[in-house]
Structure 1
Amino acid sequence: MTPATTPGSTPSLDLPLYGASWYEAMRRFFLKYATFRGRASRSEFWWWALTGFVASNVLDILSGLSTGGRDPLDIAGSFAVVDVWSGISAVAQLAVFIPSLAVSWRRLHDVDRSGTWIFINFIPLLGQIVYLVMTASRSRPGGVRFD
């Protein structure tokens, strides 16, 4: 066992926490807000991915309900419907943009890839598939070089 997973010990933020609970993954996500060095375990990354996906969809549904399904922009391009939920969603997405990049960067480190591999997402379809495979892969011992 690594020091990060020793039972009964407080996990170090410097090491990935394998088998992290949802609470611990979210705690580490926000505590390591803009930390791009080090590594993130699969559980740390995927708990955030699931939480971000669910939260984003809930806000989108609330936005749709508050506007009655209408486009908040009319034909002339001026705001016809004030949509508070879209504003809340935009603020929330801005608030988690940097930590989302950081946890992705650290996850790539854990599979022994440079964080710059995140830019593969700019290649339509193929890039997202490669990124998904990399983030779902098992941790590799070579990733220790990023600690």
Structure 2
Amino acid sequence: MSLMEAVRAVLGKYADFSGRARRSEYWYWTLAVMLCYIPLYALLLVGIFADSTALAVVFGLVFFVFALGVLIPSIAVVVRRLHDTGKSGWFYFIGLIPFVGGLILLYFLVQDSTPDNQYGPNPKGATGYGGGYPQQGYGQTQYGGQPGYGQPQYGQQPPPPPQYGQQPGYGQQPPSQSPYGQ
């Protein structure tokens, strides 16, 4: 997700506190808001230190309107981000605890997505634990089992016997009769 996609997504869900938001959506939104706040704040300081009351009031109003405009979507994206980590949106208020609350909230916001939960499907598209990665490695079997060794799984066809001139593969039983007819 790019910066512009994240801004469009957050503004498209302006006051939507349900669902989930990926880390990239939250952090790109935060970056975009900060990139707007910094020049607006600089203009406000210029108006204040220029001894121009009219200029300070105008820049102060622009800053205030922008701050009010991004307040609701900023809270909404934090709540959706908390939902993505499997936590209730009420955990947002943990940030009000002096000294450590903001650090705890930051820890919750940097965590990876959880699998499908009560707030909706994983926005990464995968359902395995570990942030969208499959539960077992590609081509690996679970808990050290060997493919084709022992009894076939229920409902599966047994592996074909080895053909002439072919050595039994890993995990296959040697044929009960010699393929040479002896």
- Same fold by TM-score greater than 0.5: yes
Q: Deviations over 1:24-77 (max 9, x none)?
A: 10000100001000000000000011111221121110111122266xxxxxxx
Q: Secondary structure at the match of 2:118?
A: helix
Q: Deviations over 1:74-129 (max 9, x none)?
A: xxxxxx82311111010011111111110000000000000000001111220000
1:57 aligns with 2:57: no
Aligned-residue sequence identity (percent) comes to 36
Paired residue for 2:90, among 113, 116, 141?
Answer: 116
Question: Which residues in structure 2 correspond to 1:71-110 (within 5 Å)?
Answer: 81-82=53-54, 83=56, 84-110=58-84
Q: TM-score, normalised by structure 2?
A: 0.62
Aligned residues: 118
Unaligned stretches of 5+ residues in structure 1? 1-19, 71-79
The two structures, once aligned, show a CA RMSD in angstroms of 1.5
Which residue in 2 is equivalent to 1:145? Answer: 118
Judge conservation of contact 2:47–2:53 (CA < 8 Å) in 1: no
Q: Identify, as 1 or 2, the structure richer in helix.
A: 1
Q: TM-score, normalised by structure 1?
A: 0.76
How many angstroms does 1:146 deviate by?
0.5
Unaligned stretches of 5+ residues in structure 2? 121-182
Which residue in 2 is equivalent to 1:8? Answer: none
